[in-house]
C-alpha cells in the first residue's frame, strides 16, 4: 500500500460535472425563466460575486472592509458618467470603471493600510462616505437625488427590453463565473499560497520572505476593480442611480458580510452556500421587513460564536467534502501504480 | 468675525464628538475591541432618553439618571454574554459580531420608533445664549463642551487614580498575569464596557437634545467618534478631545464654504492627519 | 509526613495537542520549601502554571487544602491563597512600582504582608515607588514581582526561575532574603535552573525530566550524581 498526495477528490470531480451541467441550464434561463425570475437570478449572481470578492479580502487576506460599497457605487457611477459624457458603450464603460477603480484604489490603500485590524474596517467606511459625499456634489450626475440612464444609452445596449434583460442576465452570470474562476485560480497560485501563509501567521510568512504589504495591496486593488465592475452591472440592471443607493452600507456590505459569515468565511464554498441561504431566507421572510434583518443579524452572530466556519464548515467537518480542491490531501492507494 | 464664530462653534461641536469617541477609546484601550455598534448604541441611548422624558415627563438631563445606569447595565451584560466570547487573536469575530449587533439595533429601533426623525425637548436651554467677547454662544453647546471636558477628566481620574482603573490597565497589559492577581478578566471587561456605555448615554442624550435623530444615524456617529480617536492619537483621552475639536472645526469651516461640504471637510481633515501623521497628533507616550 | 496542603494526582498537562506533563504526583506539606529542578522543556513552568490555574486540567488532578482546584480559573485560585511569581517578572508596564504592588493585594486576603513590610524587605522599591516599573533594573523588577505576590498574603507561593537573566550578585541578594519570606510558615515551590541555589534554600527536591518525575527526596540525602542522572537522563 502506498500513499500519494493530491488536490483532487471524488467529491470535487463530481462537483465539477454538476457545475458544468448547471451552468448550461442557467445560461439557457432567458428561454425558460420568467422576467421576475431572470431578474432575481441576475441579482443572485451579482451578490455571489460580491461575496466571493469580500471573502477573498476578509477571509484570506485579513482585510476586513466594511467599505466595499465605495467601489460598488463608483462602478455604478462610472457606468453613468462614461456613457453619458464620454459616449462609451455601456459594457466598455463598466470595464473602464473597473480599471479606474483599480487606479484609484492604490492611493486609497496607501492611506487606509496605515490602520490596523478593526480600525482598518472603519477607515474603509470613511472612504466610502467620502465617495458618497463627493458624488452627491456632482450636479451633472444629478447631485444628491441621482439620475436615470438616458434612453439612448439604454437603447445602445440592446434594442428591445427582452434583449436587454437577457444580455444583462448573461453579463451577471458571466461575471459570477469569471469571479469564481479568478478567485479559485488565484488561491491555487503561488500568490494564493502566500496569502494563506499570511492568514495563518504573518510573522512566519514574513520569515519566508513574503512581502505582506505588497500581497495585501494586490488583493485590495484586484478586488476593488472587480467590485466596481459588479457595481456597474448592478446599476445596469437598475437603470437608476443615487448616492444613497450606490453607496449603501446595508445593501453592498452588510448583506455581503452576512452571506459570507453564514456560508463560511475563509472557504471558497462558503459564499456560494451563503448566497443560496441568503436568498432563500429573503424570499421567505422579506414580508417581515425589519424583522428579517434582525433575524439575519442574530443568525450571523450565532454562527460567528458557535460555528465560525459557517454552514460550509459544519458540512465539511461532518462529511469531509471539498468542492473546490484547494487543500492537499494524502490518499492511501492500494494499487501498484501509486507514486 | 464670521470665521471666528465658525471656529468657536466647531470647537464646541468637537466636545460632542469627543463624547462619541471617549467610549470607543476606552474599550479599545482596555480590551483592544473596536465596537462597530458604538454609534447605534449612542442612538439607542437617545431613544431611551426620549421614552423616559415622554413617559415620566422629566427633563432630558434628569432622564440621564435613568438612562446612564441602564446603558451601563446593558454594556455589562453585552460584554459578559457575547463580546467576551469574541475576544482573542483573531480580529474577525469581534468585528463581525458587533457589526451584526449594529444591524440588529438599527432595525429594532426602526421597528419600535419608526423611521421618523425625533427630538428631545430640553426647554429654554436649547435656545438660550450668552454673549462672549462679541460672539453669541448657545448655552447648550457650551454646556456640551463643559460636560465633555468633565467626562474626560473623570475617565482620566478613574483610569489613573482608582483601583478599577488599575485593574483596567493591568488587564490590558497582560490579562494572564492580571488573573494571577485575582482579577476576573470577564468582569473587568464587563466593567469597562459598562463605563463606556454610561458615557455613551451622556453622548446620546446630548445628541438627542441638540439635533433630530432617527435609527439610521448611528453609523455616522461611529465614524465621527472614530475620526476623533485617530486624529487625537490612540490611547490618549485628552488627545481624543483635541481630535473631536479638530473634526468639529473642520466641519463648521467646510459648511461655511458650502453646506454640502460640512461632512466632507471633516473626512478630509481626518485623511490628511492619517497621511501626514498616522499615529495621530497626540499619541500616548510609550513607557 | 503531615497532611499535604497541596497535591498533584497523576497530572497530565497539555498545550493544545502537545502533552507537557505525564502523570505527575506530588505532595507538599504546609511550611515546606520544595525545589523543582530539571532541564529546559522538562515541564517545570507548565507545572506551576497548572497549579496557578493558567492551564486548565481535570479538577481532581490538583488539590489544595482538600479542594479540587485543577479546573478552577486563575483568579479564583489566587483568591484561595496561591500566588505565582512568573518567569521573566512580567510586571504591568502601565502601572507604577507601587501600583504593581497594590494590585497584588487585590484578593484582599488578610496576613502579615503589607506595602510597608514589602518596602522593609526591599527598601530600594520605596525610593522608586512612583516610577514606571519598566524603568527598574532586572533585579529590582524581580523584587517587585516577589513583593507583588507577597501582597496577596498567599499560603503557597510559587517562584518561577527567579534567577533567570540576573547578575550573580543580584541573585545572591534575592536568595538571601528568601528565608525571611518563607520563615513565617509560608509554603513555597521554587523552580530553578540554578540547582545549587535551589538546593540551598529547600528541604526537599523534585527533579523533572521530559514531563515525568525522575527523582525525589530530601535535599540533604540526595547526591550530585543522582541529580545529574535524573536531570539529563543518562548514566553518570
Average pLDDT over all residues of chain C: 91
Q: Residues of A with CB below 8 A from B82's CB?
A: 301, 305
Mean pLDDT of A231-248: 94
ipTM for the predicted complex: 0.91
Geometric angle at alpha carbon B69, from B65 and B72, rounded to 5°: 145
Q: Give the total number of structural domains in chain A.
A: 1
CA distance A217 to A202: 15
Task: Assess C134–B contact: CB distance below 8 Å, yes or no.
Answer: yes
Domain extents in chain C? 4-92+154-232
Which pTM value belongs to this model? 0.90
A223: enclosing H helix or E strand? helix A212-238
Domain at C4-92+154-232, CATH class = alpha beta
Q: Note whether A126 contacts B270, CB cutoff 8 Å.
A: yes
Structure confidence at residue C15 as a pLDDT band (50, 70, 90): confident
Question: Are β-strands B135-138 and A329-333 bridged in parallel, bridged antiparallel, or unpaired?
Answer: unpaired
Residue length of chain B: 287
Which of B:61-100 have CB within 8 Å of A?
Answer: 82, 85-86, 91-97, 99-100
Please answer whether residues C148 and C106 qualify as being in contact, where contact means their C-beta atoms are separated by less than 8 angstroms. no
Would an 8 Å CB–CB cutoff place B224 in contact with chain A? no
Q: Which residues of B touch C74 (CB under 8 A)?
A: 176, 179-180
The alpha carbon of residue A310 and the mean position of all alpha carbons in its chain are separated, in whole angstroms, by 17
Residue A190 lies in a domain: yes
Q: Are B86 and B36 in contact (CB under 8 A)?
A: no
Residue B182 lies in a domain: yes
The closest CB to that of B108, out of A66, A118, A294, belongs to A294
In a domain, A286, yes or no: no
A90 within 8 A of A33, measured Cβ to Cβ: no
A-contacting residues in B 247-286 (Cβ below 8 Å) = 260-261, 263-264, 267-268, 270-271, 274-275, 278
> What residues of B are in the C interface, CB distance below 8 Å?
163, 166-167, 169-170, 172-174, 176-185, 287
Does the residue B267 lie in any domain? Answer: yes
Q: Which of B169, B176, B183 sits opposite C94 (nearest CB)?
A: B169
Let me know if residue A321 belongs to a domain.
no
The C-alpha cell at C187 is 509554603
| Phi-psi region at C88: left, alpha or beta (left = phi > 0; alpha = psi -120 to 50) | left
Judged against a pLDDT cut of 90, whether residue A142 lies above it is answered with: no
What is the C-alpha separation between C52 and B176, in angstroms, rounded?
11
Asked if A261 and B96 come within 8 Å (Cβ–Cβ), the reply is yes
Q: What is the pLDDT of residues B27-48, one digit of tens each?
A: 988 998 989 999 999 999 999 9
Judged by CB atoms closer than 8 Å, whether chains meet at A133 and B263 is answered as: yes
Q: Are the Cβ atoms of B97 and A304 closer than 8 angstroms?
A: yes
Tell me whether residue B286 is in a domain. no
Please report whether residue A234 resides in a domain.
yes
Which of A20-29, A98-107, B256-265 tops mean pLDDT?
A98-107
* Tens digits of residue pLDDT in A110-135: 999 988 877 898 899 999 999 999 99
For residue A262, being part of any structural domain is answered with no
Within the 119-178 window of chain B, which residues sit less than 8 Å (CB to CB) from chain A? Answer: none
Residue A85: C-alpha distances to residues A48, A93, A145, A153 (Å): 31, 11, 19, 11
- By the 10 Å C-beta count (0-12 exposed, 13-18 middle, 19+ buried), A21 is classed as exposed
- Give the cell for residue C124: 530600594
The candidate with the shortest Cα–Cα distance to B179, out of C83, C2, A23, A16, is: C83
- Of A7-11, A64-68, A309-313, C112-116, the poorest mean pLDDT is in A7-11
C-alpha cell of residue C96: 507604577
Q: Which residues constitute the domain of residue B156?
A: 2-123+137-276
Question: Rounded to whole angstroms, how far apart are CA atoms A77 and A141?
Answer: 8
Q: Which domain holds residue A53?
A: 29-249
Cβ(C119)–Cβ(C126) under 8 Å?
Answer: yes
Angle in degrees, CA A14, A15, A17, rounded to 5? 65
User: Is A299 a member of any domain?
Assistant: no
**Cell 522543556 identifies what position?**
C41
- The reply to whether A272 falls in a domain is no
Q: Is the pLDDT of residue C202 over 50?
A: yes
CB contact under 8 A, A293 and B111: no
Q: What percent of chain B has pLDDT over 70?
A: 98
Among the partner residues C73, C90, C102, nearest to B177 by beta-carbon distance: C90
Is residue A226 in a domain? yes
| pLDDT tops 60 at residue B14 | yes
- Would you say residue B198 lies in a domain? yes
For strands C24-29 and C33-38, give the pairing: unpaired
Instruction: State the CATH number of the domain containing residue B232.
Output: 1.10.3470
More confident residue, A117 or A329: A117
Tell me if residue B224 falls in helix, strand or coil. helix
Chains B and C touch (3+ CB pairs under 8 A): yes
Question: In which residue are the cell numbers 458571466 written?
Answer: A174
- Chain A residues inside the 8 Å CB shell of B223: 122, 125-126, 129
A208-230 residue pLDDT tens: 666 778 888 999 999 999 999 99
CB contact under 8 A, B95 and A130: no
Which of C45, C94, C95 is the best mutation test for B, with the most CBs of B within 10 A?
A: C94
Cβ distance C32 to C55 under 8 Å? no
Q: Is C223 left (phi over 0), alpha (psi -120 to 50) or beta?
A: beta
Amino acid at each position: 500500500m502506498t500513499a500519494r498526495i493530491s488536490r483532487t477528490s471524488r467529491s470535487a470531480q463530481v462537483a465539477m460535472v454538476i457545475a458544468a451541467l448547471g451552468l448550461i441550464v442557467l445560461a439557457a434561463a432567458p428561454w425558460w425563466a420568467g422576467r421576475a425570475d431572470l431578474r432575481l437570478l441576475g441579482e443572485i449572481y451579482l451578490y455571489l460575486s460580491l461575496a466571493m470578492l469580500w471573502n477573498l479580502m476578509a477571509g484570506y487576506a485579513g482585510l476586513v472592509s466594511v467599505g466595499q460599497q465605495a467601489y460598488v457605487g463608483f462602478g455604478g457611477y462610472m457606468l453613468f458618467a462614461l456613457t453619458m459624457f464620454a459616449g462609451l458603450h455601456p459594457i466598455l464603460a463598466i470595464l473602464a470603471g473597473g480599471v479606474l477603480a483599480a487606479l484609484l484604489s492604490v492611493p486609497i490603500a496607501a492611506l487606509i493600510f496605515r490602520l490596523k485590524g478593526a480600525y482598518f474596517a472603519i477607515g474603509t467606511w470613511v472612504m466610502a462616505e467620502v465617495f458618497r459625499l463627493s458624488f452627491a456634489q456632482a450636479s451633472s450626475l444629478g447631485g444628491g437625488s441621482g439620475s436615470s440612464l438616458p434612453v439612448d444609452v439604454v437603447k445602445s445596449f440592446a434594442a428591445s427590453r427582452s434583449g436587454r434583460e437577457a444580455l444583462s442576465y448573461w453579463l451577471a452570470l458571466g461575471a459570477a463565473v469569471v469571479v469564481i474562476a479568478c478567485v479559485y485560480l488565484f488561491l491555487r497560485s503561488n500568490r494564493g499560497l502566500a496569502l494563506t501563509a499570511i492568514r495563518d501567521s504573518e510573522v512566519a510568512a514574513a520569515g519566508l520572505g513574503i512581502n505582506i504589504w505588497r500581497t495585501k495591496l494586490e488583493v485590495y486593488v484586484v478586488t476593488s476593480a472587480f467590485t466596481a465592475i459588479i457595481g456597474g452591472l448592478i446599476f445596469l440592471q437598475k437603470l437608476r442611480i443615487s448616492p444613497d443607493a450606490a453607496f449603501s452600507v446595508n445593501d453592498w456590505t452588510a448583506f455581503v458580510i452576512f452571506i459570507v459569515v453564514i456560508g463560511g468565511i475563509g472557504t471558497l464554498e462558503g459564499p456560494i452556500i451563503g448566497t443560496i441561504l441568503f436568498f432563500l431566507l429573503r424570499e421567505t421572510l422579506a414580508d417581515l421587513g425589519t424583522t428579517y434583518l434582525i433575524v439575519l443579524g442574530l443568525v450571523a452572530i450565532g454562527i460567528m460564536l458557535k460555528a465560525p466556519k459557517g454552514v460550509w464548515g459544519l458540512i465539511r467537518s461532518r462529511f469531509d467534502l471539498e468542492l473546490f480542491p484547494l487543500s492537499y490531501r494524502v490518499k492511501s492507494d492500494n494499487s501498484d501504480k501509486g507514486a | 468675525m464670521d470665521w471666528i464664530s465658525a471656529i468657536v462653534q466647531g470647537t464646541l461641536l468637537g466636545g460632542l464628538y469627543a463624547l462619541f469617541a471617549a467610549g470607543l477609546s476606552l474599550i479599545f484601550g482596555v480590551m483592544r475591541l473596536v465596537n462597530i455598534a458604538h454609534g447605534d448604541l449612542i442612538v439607542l441611548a437617545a431613544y431611551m432618553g426620549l421614552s423616559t422624558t415622554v413617559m415620566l415627563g422629566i427633563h432630558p438631563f434628569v432622564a440621564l439618571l435613568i438612562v446612564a445606569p441602564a446603558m451601563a447595565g446593558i454594556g455589562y451584560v453585552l460584554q459578559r454574554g457575547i463580546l467576551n466570547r469574541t475576544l482573542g487573536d483573531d480580529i474577525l469575530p469581534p468585528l463581525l459580531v458587533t457589526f451584526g449587533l449594529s444591524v440588529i439595533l438599527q432595525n429594532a429601533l426602526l421597528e419600535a420608533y419608526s423611521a421618523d426623525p425625533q427630538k428631545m425637548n430640553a426647554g429654554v436651554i436649547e435656545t438660550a445664549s450668552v454673549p462672549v467677547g462679541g460672539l453669541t454662544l448657545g448655552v447648550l453647546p457650551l454646556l456640551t463642551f463643559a460636560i465633555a471636558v468633565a467626562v474626560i477628566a473623570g475617565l482620566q481620574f478613574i483610569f489613573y487614580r482608582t483601583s478599577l482603573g488599575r485593574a483596567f490597565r493591568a488587564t490590558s497589559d497582560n490579562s494572564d498575569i492580571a488573573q494571577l492577581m485575582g482579577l476576573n478578566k470577564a468582569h473587568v471587561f464587563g466593567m469597562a464596557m459598562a463605563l463606556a456605555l454610561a458615557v455613551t448615554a451622556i453622548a446620546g442624550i446630548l445628541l438627542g437634545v441638540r439635533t433630530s435623530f432617527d435609527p439610521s444615524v448611528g453609523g455616522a456617529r461611529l465614524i465621527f467618534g472614530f475620526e476623533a480617536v485617530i486624529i487625537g492619537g490612540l490611547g490618549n483621552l485628552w488627545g481624543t478631545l483635541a481630535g473631536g475639536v479638530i473634526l468639529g472645526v473642520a466641519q463648521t469651516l467646510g459648511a461655511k464654504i458650502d453646506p454640502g461640504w460640512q461632512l466632507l471637510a471633516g473626512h478630509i481633515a481626518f485623511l490628511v492627519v492619517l497621511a501626514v501623521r498616522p499615529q495621530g497628533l497626540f499619541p500616548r507616550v510609550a513607557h | 509526613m503531615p497532611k499535604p496542603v497541596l497535591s498533584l494526582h497523576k497530572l497530565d498537562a497539555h498545550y493544545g495537542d502537545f502533552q507537557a506533563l505525564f502523570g505527575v504526583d506530588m505532595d507538599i506539606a504546609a511550611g515546606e520549601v520544595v525545589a523543582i529542578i530539571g532541564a529546559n522543556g522538562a515541564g517545570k513552568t507548565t507545572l506551576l502554571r497548572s497549579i496557578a490555574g493558567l492551564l486548565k486540567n481535570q479538577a481532581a488532578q490538583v488539590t489544595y487544602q482538600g479542594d479540587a482546584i485543577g479546573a478552577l480559573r486563575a483568579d479564583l485560585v489566587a483568591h484561595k491563597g496561591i500566588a505565582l511569581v512568573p518567569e521573566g517578572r512580567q510586571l504591568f508596564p502601565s502601572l507604577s512600582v507601587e501600583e504593581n504592588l497594590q494590585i497584588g493585594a487585590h484578593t484582599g486576603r488578610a496576613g502579615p504582608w503589607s506595602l510597608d513590610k514589602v518596602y522593609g524587605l526591599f527598601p530600594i522599591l520605596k525610593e522608586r515607588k512612583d516610577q514606571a516599573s519598566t524603568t527598574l533594573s532586572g533585579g529590582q523588577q524581580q523584587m517587585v514581582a516577589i513583593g507583588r505576590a507577597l501582597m496577596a498574603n498567599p499560603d503557597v507561593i510559587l517562584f518561577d526561575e527567579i534567577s533567570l537573566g540576573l547578575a550573580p550578585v543580584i541573585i545572591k541578594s534575592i536568595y538571601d532574603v528568601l528565608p525571611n519570606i518563607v520563615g513565617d510558615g509560608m509554603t513555597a515551590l521554587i523552580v530553578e535552573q540554578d540547582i545549587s541555589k535551589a538546593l540551598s534554600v529547600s528541604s526537599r527536591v523534585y527533579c523533572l525530566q521530559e514531563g515525568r518525575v525522575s527523582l525525589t527526596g530530601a535535599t540533604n540525602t540526595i547526591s550530585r550524581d543522582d541529580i545529574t542522572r535524573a536531570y539529563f537522563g543518562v548514566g553518570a
